[in-house]
Amino acid sequence: MSQFWLYLKLGLEHVLDWNAYDHILFLIALVASYTFTSWKRVLWLVTIFTLGHTVALFLSTYEIVIVDTAWVEFLIPVSIMITAIYNIFTASNKEKNSNPALLYFTTAFFGIIHGLGFSTYFKMLSSGFSSKIFPLLEFALGIECAQAIVVLSVLILALIVQNFFQASKRDWILVVSAIVIGIILPILRDNFNAI
Kindly report, residue by residue over 24-43, the tens digit of the pLDDT: 999 999 999 999 999 999 99
Q: Which residues contact 72 (CB under 8 A, 6 or more apart)?
A: 113, 116, 117, 120
135, 123 Cβ separation under 8 angstroms: no
pLDDT of residue 1: 58
What percentage of the chain carries pLDDT values higher than 70? 97
Question: For residue 186, which amino acid is it?
Answer: P
pTM for the whole thing? 0.91
Query: What span, in angstroms and rounded, lies between the C-alpha atoms of 139 and 14?
Result: 9
3-state helix, strand, coil in the chain (%, to 5): 80, 0, 20
Top-ranked range on mean pLDDT: pick from 49-63, 106-120, 164-178: 164-178
Can you tell me the distance from the alpha carbon of 91 to that of 155, in angstroms, rounded to the nearest whole number?
16
Please answer whether residues 153 and 90 qualify as being in contact, where contact means their C-beta atoms are separated by less than 8 angstroms.
Answer: no
